[in-house]
Structure 1
Amino acid sequence: MGSSEEKVVAVIMVGGPTKGTRFRPLSLNIPKPLFPLAGQPMVHHPISACKKIPNLAQIYLVGFYEEREFALYVSSISNELKVPVRYLKEDKPHGSAGGLYNFRDLIMEDSPSHIFLLNCDICCSFPLPDMLEAHKRYGGIGTILVIKVSAESAYQFGELVADPDTNELLHYAEKPETFVSDLINCGVYIFTPDIFDAIQNLSTQRRDRANLRRVSSFEALQSATKMLPSDFVRLDQDILSPLAGKKQLYTYKTQNFWEQIKTPGMSLKCSGLYLSQYQLSYPHLLSNGDGTKSATIIGDVYVHPSAKVHPTAKIGPNVSISANARIGPGARLISCIILDDVEIKENAVVIHSIVGWKSSIGRWSRIQASCRRLQCQTRYHNPRYSFTLLIWEAVTVEDEVVVINSIILPNKTLNISVQDEIIL
């Protein structure tokens, strides 16, 4: 088969409601993959990146959310991108590799020569076409997208060692206790269909070991019951580690941005990263204005077409304003996500914050996460975004109220100023 006829499919792992608990309360009323970053659902960004893969036949979303939660989005994105997108619901968690294997018959319907596998909760430039070309040159069964990070933060991720000349994966360790490498796994992969044989072989070996232990002794029987099920296969520990150093797996290093989207604070940073990427990929999505007929826009800003922004407002940088939001005269928004049906009234200020659906910020009020608190956490590359103020669904902040470093849960009315509080 010629290369021009080869088909590619993409699989995006979206998880389920029992995962992503660190993202709460953002994921309490909406599946995490559908939370908007830069004005688009989180999963929209990897899907849009997959659209650029040559000869893409199908995109699959695999997770254990209820199908109805994704039905509307899957239908709209399929029509928008003119690429079939299908949601596949797992009956139970099978692990990152087990979930792929569980739907192998569907994934192989188009007889693809290559399969992309992406995690939904990462933010990066997704250099997928370049990665595909590199993978074809390497000739292995899989290629992993990697990035170099600081030695201090590497332990939080899958660390790996690669041959500097051939890019072969030599060693892989998932969140090791001791430092291995400052090169980490980005959670983006490309495989040939041979990956299914590797997963099947592991499952078979696991069942055989369990059967041997059952007939050896009572103690062996006890240990066997603690083993992982044969159909639960982790891509990192169970597949990548055993295949490392066998000329089967290779790495492709990205020089662009990459982040995990694990916490509310990271959603704000990643929204800003995607907004900056719009300059090259989707410039028509970015707003502009000089404060005459429209609001003053500074830096990268997304405003939904249905939102109403007063010409005297000053917006940006790193601001995303969702559907039917209303931004009043003199309002100042900096580094924030404004969700659907929010009202920001006259001369209100919102900085480093997420304002949830149907909330209202009163006149001359100030909503802000302070720099003092923002510098206290260093989990991610840019600790400045580690803390974000959250005003959640249907919250009313009355006029002239100051809210600093706080989380306000739904259906509350604030008529006094608060700092460093969680309002339940």
Structure 2
Amino acid sequence: MPGDLKALILVGGFGTRLRPLTLTYPKPLVPFANKAIILHLVENLVKAGVKHIVLAVNYRPEVMIAVLKKYEEQYGITITFSVENEPLGTAGPLALARDILGKDDAPFFVLNSDVTCSYPFQELRDFHTAHGGEGTLMVTKVDEPSKYGVVLTVPGQSTIDRFVEKPKEYVGNRINAGIYIFNPSVLNRIEVKPTSIESEVFPAMAKDRQLHSMDLEGFWMDIGQPKDYLTGTCLYLSYLTACKSTELADPAKHEAVTAGNVIIHPSAKVDPSASIGPNVVVGPNCTVGKGARLQRCVLLDGARIKDHAFVQSSIIGWSSTVGKWARVEGTTVLGDDVNIKDEVFINGASVLPHKSVSNSILEPSIVMVRPEFPLCPSSTRSAWAASSTSTSERQRRRRLT
């Protein structure tokens, strides 16, 4: 294959759909199954032979640079940031990175950053090479195609015939999964301006019979908002179980694991009388107390679940605490350093960083930060900058102030 395989990952902006988690870390660095979202993509792209990855962002990426520099060294690849002065949609970033993506004849992947699946990049690469067309998009089957743009192929072929946006009558059930591979010639179709690859580039390629589809086997989920992040976590954990992955906690070694599909980081401290599972991720440096009950939830670095607390269908942010006999459920998301007091009930709340909650919240709501932590772009950048330090260092700084 001529030249080195490359990939462009569409990162986008501030990750507002995943707040309050993205007030502490940029979305690509938010953990998913105890690993940064972006790292899942990087590892699997490397397995497919990718040597150069471009991250398309439309804000200054200082926080990500230090982390991703380590990935460069670890995996022997090059990671380049392509920063947009204005949002360029889903196609414009390809043209902006033309010097890298089009420097030789090797194809390149294009991925949305907040999709989880089995990451079959090697299979996609081989399929694309075999059919010889200009591009291939991965499609996934859905139960309700009327909510999406449906991909229709030429009967008996992988060649895409046309797209039907939110069809009122059933025409098919395959939709765009946000994972593509192209020959560099596709760059001749795109200018450096705001452009939608889905509505402007793909229809032209289909008309020329240069766009093919490949079925994505197994699970797929856009994890860009909390409820889908949790669903994606469940799907990913089930996938690990099917693969008999060693990442999963062994119930024989973890007495607290009472149901399947659980990841417990080696540094976490879990009382054996706790009950964990199904579908739980316990992150680094977490503490789970006596009699605590965890179901379908994620604990991020340094989270603390006190004795007899109950957490279900929720995300507990970095260094946050759930008090004794407290109950947290209903897709609640706690940001960084949130303290839920003892015996408090939280149902469906989004609690922004550094908040202490002493009263129950019975209906889904947003719990705003204190005045010294205003929600604005400058504070967001400050939070991101602080996130480059360790949990213990951030705690020490707050004590000093």
TM-score normalised by the shorter chain: which range applies?
Answer: 0.7 to 0.9
Conserved in 1, the CA contact under 8 Å of 2:138 and 2:176? Answer: yes
Partner of 1:374 in structure 2? none
TM-score, length basis structure 2:
0.84
In the TM superposition, 1:173-252 aligns within 5 A as 173-174=164-165, 181-199=172-190, 203=191, 231-252=193-214
Q: In the aligned structure 2, how far is the partner of 1:176 from the partner of 1:249? A: 21
Partner of 2:61 in structure 1? 67
Conserved in 2, the CA contact under 8 Å of 1:135 and 1:142? Answer: yes
Residue of 146, 166, 172 corresponding to 2:139: 146
Conserved in 2, the CA contact under 8 Å of 1:168 and 1:245? Answer: no
Report whether the alignment pairs 1:123 with 2:120.
no
Which string of whole-angstrom CA distances, capped at 9 and with x for unpartnered residues, describes residues 247-288 of structure 1? Answer: 211111112111222321111111222223334668232222
Report whether the alignment pairs 1:114 with 2:122.
no
Partner of 2:30 in structure 1? 35
- Partner amino acid for 1:146? V
Conserved in 1, the CA contact under 8 Å of 2:102 and 2:187? Answer: no
Residue of 158, 175, 189 corresponding to 1:167: 158
Which string of whole-angstrom CA distances, capped at 9 and with x for unpartnered residues, describes residues 25-80 of structure 1? Answer: 23222212221111111122222221221x42212221123221211221222233
Which string of whole-angstrom CA distances, capped at 9 and with x for unpartnered residues, describes residues 391-422 of structure 1? Answer: 33322222222223333333333333331142
Residue of 257, 281, 294 corresponding to 1:320: 281
Change (3 A) 1:97 1:407: closer
Q: In the aligned structure 2, how far is the partner of 1:56 from the partner of 1:391? A: 36
Residue of 267, 290, 311 corresponding to 2:272: 311
- Partner amino acid for 1:295? A
Q: CA deviation at 1:297?
A: 5.1
Determine helix, strand or coil for the equivalent of 1:61: strand
Residue of 328, 337, 347 corresponding to 2:298: 337
Q: How many residues align?
A: 367
Determine helix, strand or coil for the equivalent of 2:207: coil
Q: In the aligned structure 2, how far is the partner of 1:304 from the partner of 1:82? A: 26
Q: In the aligned structure 1, how far is the partner of 2:115 from the partner of 2:131? A: 25
Partner of 2:314 in structure 1? 353
Q: In the aligned structure 2, how far is the partner of 1:335 from the partner of 1:263? A: 16
- Partner amino acid for 1:246? D
Report whether the alignment pairs 1:418 with 2:361.
yes
Q: CA deviation at 1:189?
A: 0.7
Q: In the aligned structure 2, how far is the partner of 1:137 from the partner of 1:163? A: 17
- Partner amino acid for 1:348? A
- Partner amino acid for 1:166? Q
Q: In the aligned structure 2, how far is the partner of 1:40 from the partner of 1:271? A: 12
- Partner amino acid for 1:340? D
Change (3 A) 1:281 1:77: farther
Q: Which moved more, 1:410-419 or 1:41-50?
A: 410-419
Q: In the aligned structure 1, how far is the partner of 2:16 from the partner of 2:168? A: 24
RMSD between aligned residues: 2.3
Report whether the alignment pairs 1:44 with 2:39.
yes
Q: CA deviation at 1:294?
A: 5.0
Q: CA deviation at 1:343?
A: 1.1
Conserved in 1, the CA contact under 8 Å of 2:275 and 2:294? Answer: yes
- Partner amino acid for 2:352? L
Stretches of 4+ moved more than 6 A in 1? 176-179
Conserved in 2, the CA contact under 8 Å of 1:8 and 1:112? Answer: no
Residue of 90, 95, 100 corresponding to 1:101: 95
Q: In the aligned structure 2, how far is the partner of 1:313 from the partner of 1:390? A: 21
Change (3 A) 1:269 1:361: same
Residue of 227, 231, 250 corresponding to 1:265: 227
Q: CA deviation at 1:173?
A: 4.2
- Partner amino acid for 1:10? A
TM-score, length basis structure 1:
0.80
Q: In the aligned structure 2, how far is the partner of 1:50 from the partner of 1:280? A: 22
Q: Sequence identity of aligned pairs in percent?
A: 32
